[in-house]
Amino acid sequence: MDDGGGARRLRGDAVTLAHGAGGRAMRDLIDEIFLKAFGETRVSGLEDQARLALDAFGGGTLAFTTDSFVIDPIFFPGGDIGKLAVCGTVNDLVVGGAKPVALTCSVIIEEGLAFADLHRIAESMATAAAEAGCRIVTGDTKVVPRGAADRIFVNTAGIGAIPADRSLAARHIRPGDALIVNTTLGEHGAAVMAARGDLGLTSALQSDCRPLGELVEALLEAAPDTRAIRDATRGGVATVLNEFAAASGTCCRIAEDKLPLREEVRGISEILGLDPLYIACEGLFVAAVPQAQTEAALAALRKRSGGEAACQIGEVVATPQGRAVMTSFFGGDRLVDMLEGEQLPRIC
Q: Which residues inside 289-348 make contact with a copy of itself, applying CB under 8 A?
A: 322, 337-346
Q: Return the residues of window 209-228 that contact a copy of itself according to CB under 8 A.
A: none
Task: Pick between residue 299 and residue 335 the one whose CB is nearest to a copy of itself.
Answer: 335
Alpha carbon distance 212, 58 (integer Å): 21
Q: How far is the CB of 308 from a copy of itself (least distance, A)?
A: 24
Q: Which of 14, 31, 66, 133 is close enough to bind a copy of itself by CB under 8 A? A: 66
Q: Give the nearer residue to a copy of itself in terms of CB position, either 68 or 127.
A: 68
> Residue 141: helix, strand or coil by DSSP?
strand
Residues 237-256 that bind a copy of itself (CB under 8 A): 239, 243, 246-247
Site for a copy of itself, residues 182 to 211, rule: CB under 8 A: none
Cβ nearer to a copy of itself, comparing 25 with 126: 25
Residue partners of 225: CB distance under 8 A and separation at least 6: 289, 290, 293
Nearer to a copy of itself, 263 or 340 (CB): 340
Cis peptide before 320 (omega within 30 of 0): yes
276 to 273, 281, 286, 301: CA distances (angstroms) = 10, 10, 15, 22
| Minimum distance, C-beta of residue 69 to a copy of itself, in the bound complex (Å) | 8
Contacting a copy of itself (CB under 8 A), which of 21, 114, 199, 299?
A: 21
3-class secondary-structure state, position 77: coil
Could you tell me the smallest distance in angstroms from the CB atom of residue 324 to a copy of itself?
A: 13
Identify whether the C-beta of residue 277 lies closer than 8 Å to the C-beta of residue 238.
Answer: yes
Residue type, 344: L
Strand order in the sheet with 251-255: 228-231, 285-289, 178-181, 311-317, 251-255, 324-327, 333-335
How far CA 148 is from CA of 31, 110, 142, 307, in Å, comes to 25, 7, 12, 40
From the list 14, 18, 130, 201, which residue makes contact with a copy of itself (rule: CB under 8 A)? 18
Here's the x/- map for a copy of itself, 79-108, by CB under 8 A: it reads as -------------xx-xx-x---x-xxxxx
Which residues, 130 to 159, sit near a copy of itself by CB under 8 A?
137-140, 142-145, 147-150, 153, 155, 157, 159
Question: CB of 290: closest distance to a copy of itself in angstroms?
Answer: 20
Among 15, 35, 86, 170, binds a copy of itself (CB under 8 A): 170
Q: Compute φ and ψ for 213, nearest 5 degrees.
A: -55, -45
Interface residue with a copy of itself, options 48, 165, 198, 263 (CB under 8 A): 48
Angle subtended at Cα 35 by Cα 45 and Cα 49, rounded to the nearest 5 degrees: 15
